[in-house]
Amino acid sequence: MLTKTLHEIELEAWSERAAIYDDTFAGISSQAIPPILDSIGDLKGARHLDVACGTGHLVAAAALRGAGSEGVDFAQAMIDLARANYSGARFQVADAAQLPYDDAAFDAVTCSFGLSHMEFPEAAVAEAYRVLRPGGRFAFTLWCGPDDGGTLFAIAREAVAAHVIAPPRLPEAWTRLRFADARLCEQIVREAGFVTPSFERIGVAHQSATAQPAIDILDRIAVRSRLILESQSSAIRARIRAAMAAQIEALRVDELIRIELPALLTVAQKPASESERPS
């Protein structure tokens, strides 16, 4: 029986898979970097923080646009790799719900595919609000779910449903923000005090010549699907992998397999003045 909290599960997972994440999935999540940075305005001279920064690519891209950018992540291994990737940039270990910064320290805060891994995403949104200056922008992305164009998640769900006989006991509410939900995102940012939330669907896709890299994402990287697969016998796990491989292969066009992974970008603003603050 699983007795760990989601926070413990996530910290353990990200502490041991930084390298494989960077080698495989960071290339996919990085497709969201340009639209995220476009959404927070001119970054020249801006103070910018990336929360749940992973291996550092968004921080480096923001710095290229002229921002004084830094990143935090709660996994030491992620921060070590971010520092190795970009030795000139500033990274530190910190929890999104307890940021080691003063109030109003940043002009912009981002969180790329981080909130879906948090037990209490509301706490991270509240912290983003606190460390933003009045008028500053907060932008975050979440993956669209299996019923909303997230083909890779749909493939995993189907294969698991077809072959898992005894699913493991996972934490009751995995997280409120597991997948993109514009209404919920709006509610959470408004509750924190943000105004003018807006939403943009971003096209992200995984492309490869074989099915293996996509199977690896589900079997070795994605926290929840890996937990489910690890809880199964090797025979069942092999059946799930084979079912996923067949569905992934079915997406092949000529030499290339393309799997859609759309994301939702939410952008909201901290009120510029007291009079704009919602009552």
Ligand X SMILES: C[S@@+](CC[C@H](N)C(=O)[O-])C[C@H]1O[C@@H](n2cnc3c(N)ncnc32)[C@H](O)[C@@H]1O
Q: Would you tell me which residues interact with ligand X (CB under 6 A)? A: 10, 14, 26, 29, 52-54, 73-75, 78, 95-97, 112-114, 117-118
Q: How far is the CB of 252 from ligand X (least distance, A)?
A: 26
Q: How far is the CB of 236 from ligand X (least distance, A)?
A: 26
List, as one string, the DSSP characters of 94-123.
--TTS-SS-TT-EEEEEEES-GGG-S-HHH
Distance from the Cα of residue 42 to its chain's centroid: 23
Report whether 206 contacts 252 (CB < 8 A). no
CA-closest candidate to residue 217, choices 181, 257, 255: 257
Closest residue by beta carbon to ligand X: 54
Nearer to ligand X, 184 or 236 (CB): 184
Nearer to ligand X, 26 or 177 (CB): 26
CA-closest candidate to residue 64, choices 83, 99, 88: 88
Which residues are CB-neighbours of 151 under 8 A, at least 6 positions away? 251, 259, 260, 261
The sign of the torsion formed by the CA atoms of 87, 88, 94, 95 equals: negative
- 265: β partners: 141, 200
Rounded-to-integer distance, Cα 264 and Cα 108, Å: 18
Q: How far is the CB of 32 from ligand X (least distance, A)?
A: 7
Nearer to ligand X, 95 or 219 (CB): 95
Q: How far is the CB of 29 from ligand X (least distance, A)?
A: 3
Nearer to ligand X, 12 or 249 (CB): 12
Nearer to ligand X, 77 or 236 (CB): 77
Nearer to ligand X, 73 or 107 (CB): 73
Q: How far is the CB of 63 from ligand X (least distance, A)?
A: 15
Q: How far is the CB of 266 from ligand X (least distance, A)?
A: 14
Nearer to ligand X, 21 or 194 (CB): 21
Nearer to ligand X, 81 or 211 (CB): 81
Rounded-to-integer distance, Cα 153 and Cα 228, Å: 13
Helix 182-192 and helix 121-131: axis angle, to 10°? 50
Q: How far is the CB of 235 from ligand X (least distance, A)?
A: 30
Complete edge-to-edge strand list for the sheet that includes strand 106-112: 90-93, 68-73, 47-51, 106-112, 132-143, 263-269, 195-202
Distance from the Cα of residue 82 to its chain's centroid: 16
Report whether 265 contacts 142 (CB < 8 A). no
Q: How far is the CB of 73 from ligand X (least distance, A)?
A: 5
